[in-house]
Structure 1
């Protein structure tokens, strides 16, 4: 019979390989979203930013010239699929979740700040090829799988009754 501590060591070793892959995938996805995809010039938009972090969050921030800021965030553990509406010249990446797992917020809005939830995070893009879309979806799905296998989750299961 294998002891809990031996099983924990095996899980930590396996998960360390997964964490290394996660450490490589997150910056690659960040780079694809931020640099390979050109953000379209939008009227009244001063700045847009996409951030992907090691905790598995994709955050999209749009700052308007008026100072109003639109913010959306999705934990990739809740990611379902990627859709795209548009052409190779411009369109919208749509990251979908099963339920209302996307946080939507506005700041500095003269009409009042808003906090709400959504089933999708929309990222406007320009100049995107089908192979880039496939790469983005593969990266999102792989990061989701790796996040769901984080070592602390495995250890928590081992320390149970």
Structure 2
């Protein structure tokens, strides 16, 4: 009976270790997209705009798109979108209290649409998206940059 119990403990321990090794070795893109979206939403600075924002949406999809939409109190809408496989670098200008996050792409890969503006409806392309952030520390910014980089590498590798 003792031998059976010992063998059972060994098999159970081996199975747990094997499962841990298998599941910890893979970094799924879904984890990166969820992390990125959660950080951007958590630290978003609604008051850090030139105009008062009524609502905003930040969406990072599993298919690799980053979408950012702002609706202002006066009815004006701004929409930015780009494929994260075109992501180049991330820059943060400001302090831990308040700043702007620049998400830069390789070329003119950011779709910019403006609706209900006094100058008319404008569709254009750009090379970056600016997202205002507040109360974010250096560790969170580094983790955000690392997740953007990992997701970009995964998307580029899967497109080849």
Query: TM-score normalised by the shorter chain: which range applies?
Result: 0.7 to 0.9
What residue ranges of structure 2 are gaps of 5+ in the alignment?
1-24
Distance of 2:86 and 2:39 partners within structure 1 = 21
Alignment partner of 1:128 is 2:130: no
Higher RCO (CA-CA < 8 Å; seq separation 6+): 1
Alignment partner of 1:29 is 2:42: no
Q: Find the structure with the greater CA-based Rg.
A: 2
Q: 1:122 to 1:39 in 2, by over 3 A?
A: same
Shift of 1:34: 0.9
Q: Map 1:9-158 onto structure 2 (within 5 A).
A: 21-35=28-42, 37-41=43-47, 42=49, 43-150=51-158, 153=159
Secondary structure of the 1:61 match is strand
Which runs of structure 1 show a deviation greater than 2 angstroms over 4 or more consecutive aligned residues?
none
Shift of 1:147: 0.9
Residue correspondences, number: 134
Distance of 2:78 and 2:104 partners within structure 1 = 18
Alignment-derived partner of residue 157 in structure 1: none
What residue ranges of structure 1 are gaps of 5+ in the alignment?
1-16, 155-161
RMSD of aligned alpha carbons: 1.7
TM-score (norm 1): 0.77
TM-score (norm 2): 0.78
Alignment-derived partner of residue 21 in structure 2: none
Secondary structure of the 1:110 match is coil
Distance of 1:27 and 1:129 partners within structure 2 = 19
Shift of 1:38: 3.5
